[in-house]
Amino acid sequence: MTMLLHLDSSANRSDESVTRRLTALFADRWRSIHGSTEYRYRDLAADPVPPIDTAYCQLGRRSEREGVVPLDLVGALIENDAEADAWALTEPLINEVIASSTILIGAPLYNFSLPAALKTWIDRITFPGALALGDTEVVVITSRGGAYGPGTPREGWDYEVPYLRAYFTNYGVRDDNIRFITAELSLAGLVPHLAHLRGLAERSLAEAVSCVAAGQYAAAQG
């Protein structure tokens, strides 16, 4: 089974978006190898996943009380229309994730963390007992206005990459099956006080582009 689930979460839907440009490049390359049939796209900014609610939590708690409930048996635990609605929103999203061999995520750094649209999708798909990702490959393409690497003033302030690594490994993705491709200093071309970092920004973007274009993400897929 080879299926790519491509998610974008940048609120900026114009072609200025670095993550959108890079995920599109990744997806084009993937489709040139595997074809378009098994390709799914979700724009979490244009078509946001609704936030979870009381009905989701109550159905989830009932499921949790039972231990691990197989996905197709959760429906039998539904007690009212609100829970039926919550499950009707949730189940297809979980099935889509489970069916994917690769999950590609465009994830800009927002306020030292991930965009709310992406977190809302994560909260929705993480229904108690439902998610086991096993051999899934995860590719996160992230972009940030500043820089957070070793020796920078804000080293350690990036709560997005460590969070996503912890999240996906907790649900079974092998550490060597999660890749992060980062373009940093994307604001250097815009913000005057970062102008002296433009060379570094260009280099970072060029490295991210060549990483995607060279298919370094896809060792497991051939």
Residues that bind ligand FMN (CB under 6 A): 10, 12, 17-20, 108-112, 143-146, 186-187
Q: Which is nearer to ligand FMN, 138 or 183 (CB)?
A: 183
Q: 81-85 long-range CB contacts below 8 Å, 24 or more apart?
A: 82/53, 82/54, 82/55, 83/55, 83/56, 83/58, 83/59, 85/55
User: Smallest gap, in angstroms, from Cβ of residue 104 to ligand FMN?
Assistant: 14
User: Smallest gap, in angstroms, from Cβ of residue 62 to ligand FMN?
Assistant: 36
Q: Which residues are annotated as a binding site for FMN?
A: 10, 143-146
Q: How far apart are CA 205 and CA 184, in angstroms?
A: 7
Residue that is written with structure tokens 């993400």 in the block: 217
Write the CA distances from 49 to 43, 72, 117, 125, 152, integer angstroms.
10, 21, 7, 10, 35
Q: Which is nearer to ligand FMN, 48 or 145 (CB)?
A: 145
Q: How far apart are CA 114 and CA 121, in angstroms?
A: 11
User: Smallest gap, in angstroms, from Cβ of residue 77 to ligand FMN?
Assistant: 38
User: Smallest gap, in angstroms, from Cβ of residue 18 to ligand FMN?
Assistant: 4
Q: How far apart are CA 176 and CA 179, in angstroms?
A: 7
* Amino acid identity for residue 43 in this structure: D
Q: How far apart are CA 170 and CA 113, in angstroms?
A: 18
User: Smallest gap, in angstroms, from Cβ of residue 156 to ligand FMN?
Assistant: 13
DSSP string, 19-51: HHHHHHHHHHHHHHHH-STTEEEEETTTSPPPP
Q: Which is nearer to ligand FMN, 128 or 146 (CB)?
A: 146
User: Smallest gap, in angstroms, from Cβ of residue 145 to ligand FMN?
Assistant: 3
Token pair, residue 16, equals 């200025």
